């Protein structure tokens, strides 16, 4: 999966030694997406990836990641593990993978006026449109 966003937090590096005696290292970051309703995503780089992709505050990056869940003592934990980060380029797909629609220009001078659909009418004084009158039929026997 991929997401584009701005790094808003760089958390302290963690390191240690595993039960089998192997050293490990992890760097954690928080990315804020570039959507109209931005989301904050906490992710990490583990092992050699921690040194391969050093990120700094305010970097705008395209993050490639995997989502992983694991069970521990009857509870489930989910993490976002980055495997690649690169500087975001203009025109790339935003977070969520959907292109941002181009802003629509207002009709220019001389353009044909846009008409409202037939079921919409002008608002009354209260601000609500008046519904269209039902078509009268000869064999309408409904009491309403």
Task: Report helix, strand or coil for 35.
Answer: coil
Question: What local confidence, expressed as pLDDT, does residue 89 receive?
Answer: 78
Determine the Cα–Cα distance for residues 20 and 22; give it in Å rounded to an integer.
Answer: 6
Q: Which pair of tokens denotes residue 37?
A: 């309703």
CATH H-level superfamily of 2-87: Nucleic acid-binding proteins (2.40.50.140)
User: What pLDDT does residue 5 have?
Assistant: 96
Q: What's the pLDDT tens digit per position in 43-83? A: 999 999 999 999 999 999 999 999 999 999 999 999 999 99
The CB-side HSE value for 50 (13 A sphere, CA atoms) comes to 16
Residue 13: in which H helix or E strand, if any?
A: none
Looking from the CA of 91 toward its CB, the CA atoms found within 13 Å total 0
Give the pLDDT of the chain (144 residues) as one tens digit per residue: 999 999 999 999 999 999 999 999 999 999 999 999 999 999 999 999 999 999 999 999 999 999 999 999 999 999 999 999 999 876 555 445 444 444 444 555 555 555 555 544 455 555 555 555 555 555 667 676
The residue extents of the domains of the chain are: 2-87
């Amino acid at each position: 999966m991929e997401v584009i966003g701005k790094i808003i937090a760089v958390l302290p590096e963690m390191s240690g030694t595993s039960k089998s005696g192997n050293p490990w290292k992890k760097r954690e970051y928080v990315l804020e997406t570039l959507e109209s309703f931005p989301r904050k995503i906490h992710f990490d780089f583990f092992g050699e990836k921690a040194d391969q992709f050093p990120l700094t505050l305010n970097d705008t990056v395209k993050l490639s990641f995997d989502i992983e869940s694991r069970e521990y003592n009857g509870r489930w934990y989910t993490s976002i593990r980055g495997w690649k980060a690169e500087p975001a380029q203009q025109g790339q797909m935003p977070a969520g993978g959907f292109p941002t629609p181009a802003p629509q220009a207002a009709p220019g001078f001389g353009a044909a006026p846009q008409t409202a659909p037939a079921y919409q009418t002008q608002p009354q004084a209260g601000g609500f449109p008046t519904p269209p009158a039902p078509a009268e039929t000869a064999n309408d026997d409904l009491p309403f």
